[in-house]
Structure 1
Amino acid sequence: MLYALAHFLRDYCPFIWDLVDVLNSFLFSLRYGNKLKKIKGVLTGVDSLYVISPISECRASDLAAFFDAQPQEAFTYFHPHGFDEESLKKLQGYSAFLAYAVKDNEKIVGYFFMRSFFHGKTFIGRMVDYNFRGKGIAKMMNRVTFDIAQLIGLRVFQTISIKNISSLKSAQAENELRIIETLPNGDLYVENLPKKK
């Protein structure tokens, strides 16, 4: 119900959606502010060839260029927000929108986000540069996402198209997926849970 309402507001009432984002960011900061300060430790502790930077430390033009460089098929299942500079600058200002760029030297090669809510849920998504697929970046982003969520104390959710086999396999490699429901468009609405040992 909340998922459908959020998508309705985002798609048809952008002004109200922006107000919800501002209010949610304020409440999220009040509830989780002290824990948010510890995220940097998670990012610097990743054993990887790549550097992970919050998007607040990136130029919106560089982020927009990353999205512009991706083939159209990369957006078939990925359209959580606008990809232009103005939309990205707005997202950089929301404390509840935890988003990160994965860099190879200074080149952005991956992007992942956690659209988080003050009531303890976060909805995730990720994209890897088409030239860097198959290098374990998606799995690494998924691990970091889950580490941040556990640090803060958030339940992790996402939607996955059953046609998007690579995304489904990447998510299953790192987490147990609990299917909550199949949405009218055929996507799976799932909760990511720790992998059973």
Structure 2
Amino acid sequence: MIKLLIYIKHHLSFIWFLVEWLNTTVFYLLYGHELGNQLNGLLEKYKGEFSYRLLDNNDMYALSDFFSMQPENSFIFFKPHALDVCSLKKKNKDRSFLMIGVFDDQQLIGYCFLRCFFNKRAFRGKIVDVKYQGRGIAKQMGNLTTEICQLLKFRLFATISKDNVRSMASSRAVNRVKIVKELPNDYLYVEYLLKE
């Protein structure tokens, strides 16, 4: 099934557009109300030295600037979607794709996302400004995205390179990491589970 979806995505763009539209519509109908009622309170819970909030269309310029200010090696393992303003604005319209920013006052210093599917699965990604790394922000984003998935009763997944030692360490600080499958190019398909 996954191979078929990958083929459709790369070779049959019109059908992929319909698949994405269907997923977004069904996800929002099933979970949008519950998520909307509780997400702001959950984001507020994580407020401390830094604040967390959903990114809106107006934030896409700041997000694009954030990406442009990171060193090239920040994107060796982080390639979830296109990083230009136009692509980010399009992604931000997708109600099944939650884009969350971390702010130091008004400055965007971190970004995480949940790509949600109506079959109760989600995929997580996160990146922290190089100047703010080592301050527990990635761990907080991991906790936040895990808690959102708990709220929705979703299973949480990711793909991680075996060479991405920092990301794996950050993930293991928050979750029990179950390797579901080994993928090509030394990547792992993992599920994030609650620590026992």
TM-score (norm 2): 0.93
Residues 157-194 of structure 1, C-alpha deviations (whole Å, 9 max, x = no match): 00111100000000001100111010012111000000
Amino acid at match of 1:65: D
The alignment's C-alpha RMSD in Å is 1.5
Pairing 1:165–2:165 present: yes
SS of 1:185's equivalent in the other structure is: helix
Task: After TM superposition, list the pairs within 5 Å mapping 1:40-189 onto structure 2.
Answer: 40-56=40-56, 58-189=58-189
Greater shift, 48-57 or 111-120, is seen at 48-57
Rounded Cα–Cα distance in structure 2 between residues aligned with 1:24 and 1:51: 30
Residues 116-171 of structure 1, C-alpha deviations (whole Å, 9 max, x = no match): 00010001100000111001000000000001010111100001111000000000
Cα pair distance change 1:125/1:169, threshold 3 Å: same
TM-score (norm 1): 0.93
Cα pair distance change 1:5/1:87, threshold 3 Å: farther
Shift of 1:48: 2.5
Rounded Cα–Cα distance in structure 2 between residues aligned with 1:39 and 1:193: 20
Shift of 1:19: 3.1
Identity of aligned residues (%): 38
Q: Which runs of 5+ in 2 are unaligned?
A: none
Match of 1:36 in 2: 35
Contact 2:112 2:124 in 1 (8 A): yes
Rounded Cα–Cα distance in structure 2 between residues aligned with 1:178 and 1:69: 33
Shift of 1:59: 2.1
Rounded Cα–Cα distance in structure 1 between residues aligned with 2:92 and 2:21: 12
Cα pair distance change 1:6/1:56, threshold 3 Å: farther
Contact 2:57 2:89 in 1 (8 A): no
